[in-house]
Structure 1
């Protein structure tokens, strides 16, 4: 057992990535605004085997080829700009861009920085917040170990990490992505692969994947063309000495050509829609200037709430979103109707007579998407998509405020709208789409076709895949990778900490009642903000949750907050951290 002063109020922070770091900075802000004489002495123990600050995802020593999915002007782990009007700053409240400017780092606000660069900022913020807390008399210890057990005691909680026990009065769970059990489909493929000596890579954080397993010239079947796919793509090409040559005189979509190093594998990629996530527009701003929702307005939503109480997404909200999408499309010069669902699945009801014909269709699609992204506000399609993005922010708030019926949230928001909006608005920067087009033209990347089917052929001793709408498209490979993150579902997490919490009844999965049936949701059942875990007996203690495992209370939990964003929407992660910090500080002062 760790020897501590029993008079101390001990806060255990489990997870030292962006959310745990935001909690430290918010605790500092609360400490700096309070009087030490009003509370017990404070001790903060921060646990994580990964680097403290960046965690595993933002490790500063990862490949510099991995890019963030937002421009440098966007992300922050501390309040900045207008956010400070509602969440007062601490003595180290800097956004990523503030940090870059203060340290003379060459990051342009509009460019997409390396994830390693953002990790350096997070490491600085963690170290700085800890130092400033110590300067205020708070004991802060960083422990490079995984918490494997958490149990309740009469005087608080007991945590076990690396064989040692630690006492705590309050616990902050900032767990981030958790390794998960494989579903029935992937686990079947993995079992067959092991039996036949094939290589199967399940869903994982990119920094956990050994891309060196894919040898030069070897075929790799890829399931998923979201953001993890682009990490794979760049690491096995430019990461192996391949060269992209830039021609500034060429039209968008054709500005890069690729010279192979000879060390690349051949990627054969597929997704249900047949295409990757669409590239983000180069028009500046999280929601570009000129995008204004004229139908899904606050006033319109309030009228609906007054009339119906809880809302049905498809009946009440989607028609307004569609009107805003089509109105924006026309506003920026689009001709005819714009259907977001058809735009997301451009190859529906099409057939191809050969794989070669499909590859050409895909190359043309990639080139066109790159061209529309490069056009910025000159692309009616991309501006219409950004109206959809603006609408998503309102839907996020309505979910948080529980103004959408549970059955509609499950059936509509999470059932189809989430996939639609992710594929259209959460894609990579333009650079990645230009690179993919170049790799497709060079034959390094091929595409399977819509709705691909994957399996294992024991006779060939290979993974196989094909698409019913592409005649003759049947591929075999000795490698297969699921290019996606582990599912964010606590009941599937293999974390001994999470499993122990569920087994002891200190945590329960959220359950939603819909259509007369109970549905187990992905995240923890929690109280209103500050979000404490609800126990199996319906009570709550001093275990707070931040981030991904709040998916029952929020929709689309974010890793980073928007610099200058609204704490109720794009800076919600900071608001949650601030609320938890205030709550534990009040507990340390003896307040209820």
Structure 2
């Protein structure tokens, strides 16, 4: 290495993925040459270093994760497919329990400590005790369980603690510098990477990783029409798609009728912010479905809600612990060495359906053995022999299950809403009954055959995503069965905590939430937003307020981010394309990168010299980029951060070893 050339890496984004990249860079550096040569890593974020925008610690406590506390980690373990060294540590639940115990030891916390690995406790003790966290989150930690749904702010504190641990154990020669600001361009100048901030500040590095998380997207044609209507009428209020913590709800008037689009986690966050966030409260009511009633504050609006399906995501099951691992006996038999691209609809979807039927009837045989006329082995054999089609599987098991009420009706589970309703009141009543029935199944936990089948489908997203990563599925599959898997898998497995569904039922009974119907169109007519569902007669709702309770996925070609614009203009990035069965290829919204390194690919397919892209901006390419790392599952994020960190370190070392021009150093 040329004397005086100290390698430098810039990480754009300091949320969970950014700090994981830093940890992996340090881990690789400790086992390589970087500590001897020296290394500087620049950690950059425009919101909060060590939490990022989505998990920042100043957001309302009403916002919670839909992931269980003991199912979240930022530490690697022996399951992770990687080349770097393993660095184990506490899960989010273990960390929270240790915080609570160090602050106020109790019999409960002492019992919990007996279940936490000694090396995890040692990692916790090696980092300064976060007493501020214990004080700020005392009430939340008092009820802390492995199956708790943490507030998003508390998860942000865990990320920040993880970062502080990395910084406290830097090897000699490794330096980390933090920068609070937004990077708007990265240019190659004299062989180095010149980063320009919105403030005008400049920073140079040898390698860059853009781990930016959710990036802004340019308005769609329909959104431009809304913006034009807003410009013409100051009385209209539109809350644009975004993270709930970043959506400005202050313009939503008290008591107003409001149209809300979206019935996933974004909706439940909005629901919480506009009810308990405005002074309302829930109280126990054993006589009410869901066991709660709502005490209004008078400040909450009336939420008229729609989505493509028109019904809320299903509640997470109450397992009184972590969810069971879906067996996926058929899906895991798939030969992953099969030639790409793969026809998902023909090759994988049949296996996923067979797994769902198998898990349903294995659970039914355990909880209600008299429902079957034959041993479960015979039922599973019939499923194995049957074609992997919904009707064929349904027919194959029917002779073994005399009562139709005991059979898996997966067609209805996939598309639960009937074709039409005579009035909004009829539809409201149907949705209320649907949510109540789903909650009853969630309460059964591992004893619900239906939830076992749905969890099997939801769990298939992980292995299917790995098979389909980087063009593993053809374009038709991505628009067909693979898209359906992620759509219904989200409604089955990425829904709200059960307590949110209970709150929803209470709000429906209180008249605070009403349902418009599936696939409602929203247009601006005579100075109002007007929503109408074709499936519900008389469903028209007029309002001066529209809330889009969801987030846009990325689209390289439609980005509204200045960094993406600058990379486009300099010819350093291109969108990812997938092959089609009929020939040719289809453009996706993701950034094209080299699978083994995360290095961005130029329009001609050549790799960039130094620019890497990681995480959510390549979800359409890598898949499974949004899910937080779960311990013991070889999580996608940790596999990615390890390989990208290694590449960034190698690029920086190689660049710093080149003849030194002195430019921008």
Q: TM-score, normalised by structure 1?
A: 0.91
Flag the 1:320–1:266 CA change in 2: closer, same or farther, 3 A. Answer: same
In structure 2, the partner of 1:448 is: 516
Equivalence for 1:191: 228
Partner of residue 455 from structure 2, selected from 386, 393, 405: 386
CA distance in 2, matches of 1:274, 1:327: 29
**Residue 584 of structure 1: which of 619, 623, 648 is its match?**
648
Q: Which residue of the partner structure matches residue 71 of structure 1? A: 68
1:516 is aligned to 2:583: yes
2:121 alignment counterpart: none
- Deviation of 1:184 after TM superposition, in Å, equals 1.1
Q: Residue 391 of structure 2 corresponds to which residue in structure 1?
A: none
Deviation digits for residues 368-414 of structure 1 (CA, Å, limit 9, x no counterpart): 11111111112211111111123222211111265433432344313
The answer on whether the counterparts of 1:49 and 1:145 sit within 8 Å (CA) in structure 2 is yes
Aligned equivalent of 1:419, options 487, 503, 528: 487
Answering whether residue 526 of structure 2 is matched by residue 495 of structure 1, we say no
Counterpart of 1:211 in 2: which secondary structure? coil
Other structure's SS at 1:375 match:
helix
In terms of mean alpha carbon deviation, does 5-14 or 405-414 score higher? 405-414
Number of aligned residue pairs: give it.
570
Separation (CA, whole Å) in 2 of partners of 1:552 and 1:542: 22
Bigger shift: 469-478 or 228-237? 469-478
User: Over aligned residue pairs, what C-alpha RMSD do you find?
Assistant: 2.3
Superposed, 1:159-178 pairs within 5 Å as 159-161=195-197, 162-178=199-215
Structure 1 stretch displaced more, 65-74 or 80-89: 80-89
User: What per-residue deviation string (whole Å, max 9, x for no partner) do you get for residues 260-303 of structure 1?
Assistant: 011101100001211011111112666515x32232233xx11x
Deviation at 1:309, TM superposition (A): 5.7
Corresponding residue SS for 1:449: strand
CA deviations 1:24-80 (Å, max 9, x no partner) are: 111122223335565x32111111121111111111111111010101011122225
2:305 corresponding residue in structure 1: 269
Matched residue of 2:348: which SS? helix
1:179 is aligned, of 187, 211, 216, to 216
Provide the secondary structure at the position in 2 that maps to 1:352.
Answer: coil
Q: Distance in 2 between matches of 1:80 and 1:528?
A: 22
- Equivalent residue for 1:472? 538
Give the alignment's TM-score, normalised by structure 2. Answer: 0.81
Show the counterpart of 1:316.
347
Q: Distance in 2 between matches of 1:227 and 1:468?
A: 24
> Quick check: 1:525–1:552 contact (8 Å CA) kept in 2?
no
Deviation at 1:362, TM superposition (A): 1.4
- Secondary structure at the aligned position of 1:103 is classed as helix
**Residues 19 and 559 in structure 1, CA contact (< 8 A), matched pair in contact too:** no
In the alignment, structure 1 segments of 5+ residues that lack a partner are none
Equivalent of 2:412 in 342, 364, 369: 342
Matches within 5 A, 1:167-246: 167-197=204-234, 198-246=236-284
Deviation at 1:588, TM superposition (A): 4.5
Contact 2:35 2:172 in 1 (8 A): no
Q: Tell me the alpha carbon deviations over residues 119-162 of structure 1, each in whole angstroms, 9 at most, x when there is no partner.
A: 011112223313322x5321211011111111112322111112
2:319 counterpart of 1:283: yes
Distance 2:35 2:175 in 1: 16
Residue 24 of structure 1 contacts residue 130 of structure 1 at CA under 8 Å; is this kept in 2? Answer: no
- Tell me the equivalent position of 2:612: 544
1:54 counterpart residue number: 51
Q: What is aligned with 2:498?
A: 430
Q: Deviations over 1:174-202 (max 9, x none)?
A: 01001111111122123223312211122
Which structure's CA Rg is the greater one?
2
| Structure 2 unaligned spans of 5+ | 101-133, 135-140, 365-370, 372-404, 658-665
> Do the aligned partners of 2:432 and 2:505 also contact (CA within 8 Å) in 1?
yes
Q: 1:7 to 1:391 in 2, by over 3 A?
A: same
Aligned partner of 1:331 in structure 2 is 362
Residue in 1 that maps onto 2:21: 23
